[in-house]
């Protein structure tokens, strides 16, 4: 509204609304010497009679007008406020969802596995991180020049790490070039992930060298490139995939050569000799390992080493693999190390049928691996975990023994996935806690079944130690070969039941097999066509096989998961074609596994390779 005035004496202008003096305030603007009245935000209460009073020395003149307000109250302004507010809230929620997604994809530092694999040191009363700080890294013993390392194909990858096949020139004294595996972080890795890999390197040094553990060969830690941990390369991949690929070539009674039998006896003799080693020698070895004086020196593989793809897979091989894993775990237990993820996918197979315990922890994407099931906010390998680990988060050597029992099941089912047809959920965990157990595979002899059940004891204190498992499996391995005079092995008559394709054996005097157990055992849902596979091992008594027989009395009355409704399940590779191990591509491995021995890898070392 405007009030135009003129006068000889400059007048003063005042505005009134409903006889109330108006002053300039929020929403009311007076301009042009009060001649112009502006209402910034028109509201219903702004309606009324407005009066302009102009006064000077001669008198006063008034002019008035009535104002009516139509429409909603401050509609335009409210729409703007609502739109702006909605936009701010939407942006806030998008940012919040992004933060939550990133946290789910990248575990917190406390959840990062710092062990060799998920191998950890038994913490005792000292936190693991502090132990890793105390462990030293001697660059003069372990540092390897990056320019002597030629990286090749990726063997496996995970959320923030990968394992690469590589050629290392001069890493061992016995050869000019060796094929190795290199563990490294992906680009963009955080400082905590770098510390985790460095801690893993120190723990590998602390663990030391053993035939049945993937050994450390060197590392590249200098700041002029990425952190790389160099370990032994195992040409036949992980045991789970190898067993599945060899199912068609499974010949339980194929004759082993005298050299192979000699090697079996040497393995058992070596294990027993290690157990008799004086404590002073163990302390000396421990000192050498902590000071870095224990670098693994590998002899070049013998040129006449048998190609495992061309040789049949036998029952003796299965027992041998089991024995070697037990021996490797016995060594880790003696070094106060807990594995936490012992499974066939974490066992690698090398030349001469040597198996090695490993776990490329950072190189497995547990978010895509079907073996790792979500429980709460974590993804865990529930099918391999002991009840105390599932419910109480307690990891000990005895929980590793439970996992070893599941590993035995994998081996004697030729790489099948444990608990077939069982849905892995909270109900499964509760049944496991209440004593329900997995039925033994058909290839498992009564002796192997007893070992499995002893490993699955609900009370961790009743499970056998790895040293006992080495002794039992070693005796079983020796009994499978030609009977030497000094071996106290006595065969007993046995009958083999082939009714309905069942693998379960009738009772034998030597093994004290309960008849009720054989009668009640049902055949496996999808039996392999090797019903004679268990005959020899079921009919041979072996020393130590009954060491824990009392603990498995009444096994026939034990509940198994087959008594509950089962859901048919088929294995499906994840979207990126990772296998159960998360280490190799499933489609490539299953199609090319048996033919790979005929192909020469582009960067694989050869006798003529040199710098």
Same domain for 47 and 177, yes or no, is no
What is the percent of the chain where pLDDT is above 70? Answer: 64
Q: Say if residue 391 carries a ligand binding annotation.
A: no
Q: Taking all residues of the chain, what is their mean pLDDT, rounded to a whole number?
A: 72
> Which residue blocks in 291-396 are alpha helix, DSSP H?
315-334, 387-392
Q: Say if residue 425 carries a ligand binding annotation.
A: no
Q: Say if residue 206 carries a ligand binding annotation.
A: no
Please determine, for residue 115, whether its predicted confidence score (pLDDT) is greater than 60: no
* Structural domain total, the chain: 2
Same domain for 61 and 118, yes or no, is no
Q: Are 390 and 382 in contact (CB under 8 A)?
A: yes
* Residue 103 lies inside a defined structural domain of this protein: no
307 or 514: which leads in pLDDT:
307
Res. 388 pLDDT band, cuts 50 70 90: very high
Res. 559 pLDDT band, cuts 50 70 90: confident
Same domain for 62 and 128, yes or no, is no
Res. 539 pLDDT band, cuts 50 70 90: very low
Q: Say if residue 161 carries a ligand binding annotation.
A: yes
pLDDT at 148: 92
pLDDT at 50: 87
Q: Say if residue 241 carries a ligand binding annotation.
A: no
Q: State which of 479, 507, 540 marks the end of a domain.
A: 479
Same domain for 214 and 330, yes or no, is yes
Same domain for 453 and 384, yes or no, is yes
The CATH number given to whatever domain includes residue 32 is: 2.60.40.10
pLDDT digits (tens, 9 = 90+) for 254-274: 777 777 777 778 888 877 777
Same domain for 60 and 149, yes or no, is no
Quote the domain boundaries for residue 187: 114-275+308-479
Please determine, for residue 219, whether its predicted confidence score (pLDDT) is greater than 60: yes
Same domain for 342 and 413, yes or no, is yes
pLDDT at 246: 93
Q: State which of 454, 479, 504 marks the end of a domain.
A: 479
Distance CA 320, CA 473 (A): 8
pLDDT at 229: 94
pLDDT at 221: 92
Q: Say if residue 237 carries a ligand binding annotation.
A: no
Lowest mean pLDDT segment, chosen from 273-282, 331-340, 344-353: 273-282
DSSP 131-165: HHHHS---HHHHB--GGGEEEEEEEEE-SSEEEEE
Burial string for 249-265 (b: 16+ CB within 10 Å, else e) reads ebbbeeebeeebbeebb
Same domain for 364 and 434, yes or no, is yes
Q: Are 192 and 174 in contact (CB under 8 A)?
A: no
Same domain for 53 and 118, yes or no, is no
pLDDT digits (tens, 9 = 90+) for 53-109: 888 877 888 888 888 887 655 556 677 888 888 999 999 999 998 888 877 765 443
Lowest mean pLDDT segment, chosen from 136-150, 455-469, 542-556: 542-556
pLDDT digits (tens, 9 = 90+) for 590-605: 344 444 444 434 445 6
The CATH number given to whatever domain includes residue 133 is: 1.10.510.10
Torsion of CA 11, 17, 19, 22, to 10 degrees: -60
DSSP 47-98: -EEEEEEEEETTEEEEEEEEE---SSTTHHHHHHHHHHHHHHHHHHHHHHHH
Same domain for 325 and 266, yes or no, is yes
Q: Say if residue 250 carries a ligand binding annotation.
A: no
Which two structure tokens, joined as six digits, stand for 23? 């002053």
pLDDT at 111: 37
* Residue 197 lies inside a defined structural domain of this protein: yes
Lowest mean pLDDT segment, chosen from 259-263, 359-363, 498-502: 498-502
Please determine, for residue 588, whether its predicted confidence score (pLDDT) is greater than 90: no
DSSP 512-569: T--HHHHHHPPPPSS--S-TTTTHHHHSB--TTTTTTGGGGTTGGGS-BGGGS-----
Please determine, for residue 437, whether its predicted confidence score (pLDDT) is greater than 70: yes
Q: Say if residue 158 carries a ligand binding annotation.
A: yes
Q: Say if residue 163 carries a ligand binding annotation.
A: yes
Mean pLDDT for the stretch of residues 384-397: 92
pLDDT at 481: 38
pLDDT digits (tens, 9 = 90+) for 88-102: 999 999 999 888 887
Mean pLDDT for the stretch of residues 500-523: 33
Lowest mean pLDDT segment, chosen from 26-40, 326-340, 539-553: 539-553
Please determine, for residue 356, whether its predicted confidence score (pLDDT) is greater than 90: yes
Q: Phi first, then psi: give them for residue 378, nearest 5 degrees.
A: -115, 160
Lowest mean pLDDT segment, chosen from 142-146, 178-182, 190-194: 190-194
Q: State which of 431, 453, 479 marks the end of a domain.
A: 479
* Residue 587 lies inside a defined structural domain of this protein: no
* Residue 79 lies inside a defined structural domain of this protein: no
Q: Say if residue 549 carries a ligand binding annotation.
A: no
The answer to whether residue 607 is catalytic is no
Same domain for 144 and 268, yes or no, is yes
* Residue 492 lies inside a defined structural domain of this protein: no
Distance CA 449, CA 409 (A): 9
603 or 611: which leads in pLDDT:
603
pLDDT at 584: 28
HSE value, Cβ hemisphere, 13 Å, CA-based, for 403: 27
pLDDT at 605: 66
Which two structure tokens, joined as six digits, stand for 358? 């490993």
* Residue 510 lies inside a defined structural domain of this protein: no
Same domain for 331 and 404, yes or no, is yes
* Residue 262 lies inside a defined structural domain of this protein: yes
pLDDT at 280: 41
* Residue 85 lies inside a defined structural domain of this protein: no
Q: Say if residue 512 carries a ligand binding annotation.
A: no
Please determine, for residue 184, whether its predicted confidence score (pLDDT) is greater than 60: yes
Please determine, for residue 543, whether its predicted confidence score (pLDDT) is greater than 50: no
Please determine, for residue 433, whether its predicted confidence score (pLDDT) is greater than 70: yes
Q: Catalytic residue among 178, 341, 475, 580, which?
A: 341
Please determine, for residue 455, whether its predicted confidence score (pLDDT) is greater than 60: yes
142 or 584: which leads in pLDDT:
142
């Amino acid at each position: 509204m405007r009030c135009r005035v003129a006068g000889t004496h400059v007048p003063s202008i005042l505005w009134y609304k409903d006889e109330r003096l108006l002053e300039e305030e929020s929403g009311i603007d007076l301009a042009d010497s009060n001649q112009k009245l502006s209402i910034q935000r028109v509201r219903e209460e702004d309606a009324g009679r407005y009066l302009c009073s102009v006064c000077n020395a001669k008198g006063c003149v008034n002019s008035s007008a009535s104002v009516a307000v139509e429409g909603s109250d401050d509609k335009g302004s409210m729409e703007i406020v609502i739109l702006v507010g909605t936009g701010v809230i939407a942006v806030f929620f998008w940012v919040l969802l992004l933060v939550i997604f990133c946290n789910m994809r990248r575990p917190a530092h406390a959840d990062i596995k710092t062990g060799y694999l998920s191998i950890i040191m038994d913490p005792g009363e000292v936190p693991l991180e502090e132990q890793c700080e105390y462990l030293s890294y001697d660059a003069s013993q372990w540092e390897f020049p990056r320019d002597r390392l030629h990286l090749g194909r990726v063997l496996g990858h995970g959320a923030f790490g990968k394992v690469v096949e590589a050629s290392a020139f001069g890493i061992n004294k016995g050869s000019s070039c060796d094929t190795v595996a290199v563990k490294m972080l992906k680009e963009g890795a955080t400082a905590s992930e770098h510390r985790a890999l460095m801690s893993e390197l120190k723990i590998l040094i602390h663990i030391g060298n053993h035939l049945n553990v993937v050994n450390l060969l060197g590392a590249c830690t200098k700041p002029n490139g990425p952190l790389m941990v160099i370990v032994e390369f195992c040409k036949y991949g992980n045991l789970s995939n190898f067993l599945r690929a060899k199912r068609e070539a499974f010949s339980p009674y194929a004759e082993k050569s005298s050299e192979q039998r000699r090697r079996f006896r040497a393995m058992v003799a070596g294990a027993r000799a290690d157990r008799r080693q004086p404590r002073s020698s163990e302390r000396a070895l421990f000192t050498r390992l902590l000071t870095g004086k224990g670098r693994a020196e590998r002899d070049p593989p013998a040129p006449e080493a048998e190609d495992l793809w061309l040789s049949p897979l036998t029952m003796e091989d299965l027992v041998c693999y089991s024995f070697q894993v037990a021996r490797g775990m016995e060594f880790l237990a003696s070094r106060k190390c807990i594995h936490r993820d012992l499974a066939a996918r974490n066992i690698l197979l090398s030349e001469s049928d040597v198996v090695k315990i490993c776990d490329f922890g950072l190189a497995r994407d547990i978010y895509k691996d079907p073996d790792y099931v979500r429980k709460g906010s974590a993804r865990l390998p529930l099918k391999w975990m002991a009840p105390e680990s599932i419910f109480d988060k307690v990891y000990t050597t005895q929980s590793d023994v439970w996992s070893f029992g599941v590993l035995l099941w994998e081996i004697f089912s030729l790489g099948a996935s444990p608990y077939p047809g069982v849905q892995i959920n909270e109900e499964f965990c509760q049944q496991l806690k209440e004593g329900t157990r997995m039925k033994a595979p058909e290839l498992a002899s009564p002796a192997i079944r007893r070992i499995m059940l002893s490993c699955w004891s609900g009370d961790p204190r009743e499970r056998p130690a790895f040293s006992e498992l080495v002794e039992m499996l070693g005796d079983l391995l020796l009994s499978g070969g030609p009977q030497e005079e000094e071996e106290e092995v006595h065969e007993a008559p046995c009958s083999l039941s082939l009714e309905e394709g069942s693998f379960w054996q009738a009772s034998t005097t030597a093994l004290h097999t309960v008849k009720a157990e054989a009668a009640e055992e049902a055949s496996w849902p999808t039996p392999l066509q090797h019903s004679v596979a268990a005959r020899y091992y079921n009919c041979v008594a072996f020393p130590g096989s009954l060491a824990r027989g009392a603990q498995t009395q009444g096994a026939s009355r034990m509940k198994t998961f087959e008594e509950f409704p089962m859901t048919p399940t088929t294995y499906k590779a994840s979207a990126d074609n990772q296998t159960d191990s998360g280490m190799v591509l499933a489609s490539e491995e299953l199609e090319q596994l048996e033919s790979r021995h005929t192909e020469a890898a582009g960067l694989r070392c050869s006798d003529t390779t040199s710098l």
